[in-house]
A and B are shown apart, each in its own frame.
Chain A
Amino acid sequence: MALNNTQLNRLDGITKEYVDFSISGLTASAGGTSGTSGTSGIDGANGPSGTSGSSGSSGSSGSSGTSGSSGSSGSSGSSGTSGSSGSSGSSGTRGTSGSSGTSGSSGTSGSSGTSGSSGSSGSNGAMKLLGFSGVVGTPSNSTNNVLSHSLLISANTLSSNNILQLVWRMKRIGASNAGQIFSRIYHNTSSSLTGATLLVSTIFTMNGGSTQFLGYCERNFAYDGTSLITYINAAFSEYTTGTIQTTAFTKTQDNYIIFAIQCGNAADTANIDLYKIFLYG
């Protein structure tokens, strides 16, 4: 073995440095036994930092946020289109009676018609308004008894076991009228006082000029098929007593109920400003 510049430790403890020397005579022998294990070494120093890891996966969605504040009002819109027409209104109140028209020319005779079919039987009767007026009729401007209103009761309107109720009101015209006002009721086969039959043999009298202007009168008549039956009393209302008056009334012919008015003073004016005629049956 050749060695250079090697420091050798001699067995006698002398230390000497040798340059270029060699060792001979050494022979290798078979291996000896292993030495005991050495003690553990001290911990090493920390290593350098590692490289950055790869990115992680996306996280789950977050919870909803709180509601925002209301927005500001918008601008006004444009006008809408017109609506459709409304439904028709209810009927108006009854108007006043018009004036009578002139008579027309006579027409030619028509051809005969065919016979109609028989009608069905009517229902059982009840109260029927035969006619009324809420306006003044013909006035009395003198001491004459004048037909103020009349109403036609057509033939066969009444039958036995009927009640005819007449209601009318006398009216004094003019505040200065001072005389008495008289009223009577009749029936006739024409709308005329001439030949008429008095239905109540009394005079309904309104006194009190300048204080009494309206007088409401009423009479009920029982009808037995041949006669109208009421009582005689000058009282306006029915709530009293009197003697019986029976007046023949032919139901099979046309009859007019007539309301008459008369002034006691020729300078006065009177009228009848309402009447109602009811039939019970």
Chain B
Amino acid sequence: MKINKIQNGFLMNNQEYKIIGKEEIISETQVHVETDKGVILLDTSVIINDNSFIDIIEFYNFLIN
């Protein structure tokens, strides 16, 4: 799956998700992201702006910064 960052959120499946709360790292590869459309599970298999990740913390930091 590929997503793209936008201001305060990301685009996934042609839908815009606004990040409205804190993340929750639930495993070494998975994170819950609180958005305006609910809590979304993202993991390191997701490619963000054509970038791949192994570490979930790096993944999330890239997503929100």
- Taking CB atoms, residues of chain A closer than 8 Å to B37 are 197, 248
Inter-subunit contact B27/A193 (CB<8 Å): no
- Taking CB atoms, residues of chain A closer than 8 Å to B27 are 143-145, 262
Q: Determine if A186 is an interface residue (Cβ-Cβ < 8 Å).
A: yes
Inter-subunit contact A144/B29 (CB<8 Å): yes
Q: Determine if A196 is an interface residue (Cβ-Cβ < 8 Å).
A: yes
Interface size class of A (residues with CB under 8 A): 10 to 19
Residue of A nearest to B29 (CB): A144
Which of A144, A186, A195, A247 makes the CB contact (< 8 A) with B42?
A195
Given A193-B43, A194-B1, A195-B46, A262–B26 Cβ distance below 8 Å?
yes
Q: Determine if B54 is an interface residue (Cβ-Cβ < 8 Å).
A: no
- Taking CB atoms, residues of chain B closer than 8 Å to A133 are none
A222 to chain B, nearest CB (A): 16
Q: Determine if A198 is an interface residue (Cβ-Cβ < 8 Å).
A: yes
Which of A143, A186, A247, A248 makes the CB contact (< 8 A) with B41?
A186
From 13 to 47 in chain A, residues with beta carbon under 8 angstroms from any chain B beta carbon are: none
A186 to B33 Cα, complex, angstroms: 13
Q: Determine if A265 is an interface residue (Cβ-Cβ < 8 Å).
A: no
Which of B1, B26, B28 makes the CB contact (< 8 A) with A195?
B1
A247 to B38 Cα, complex, angstroms: 6
Inter-subunit contact A194/B46 (CB<8 Å): yes
Inter-subunit contact A196/B26 (CB<8 Å): no
Q: Determine if B39 is an interface residue (Cβ-Cβ < 8 Å).
A: yes
Residue of A nearest to B30 (CB): A145
Q: Determine if A141 is an interface residue (Cβ-Cβ < 8 Å).
A: no
A145 to B32 Cα, complex, angstroms: 11
Which of A145, A189, A194, A247 makes the CB contact (< 8 A) with B26?
A145
Residue among B29, B30, B46 having the largest count of chain A Cβ atoms under 10 Å: B30
Q: Determine if B7 is an interface residue (Cβ-Cβ < 8 Å).
A: no
A195 to B47 Cα, complex, angstroms: 12
Given A145-B30, A198-B32, A193–B41 Cβ distance below 8 Å?
yes
6 smallest A-B Cβ distances: which pairs? A198-B39, A197-B38, A247-B38, A144-B27, A196-B41, A193-B41
9 contacts between A and B (CB under 8 A): A144-B30, A145-B27, A145-B41, A193-B41, A195-B12, A197-B38, A197-B40, A198-B41, A262-B27
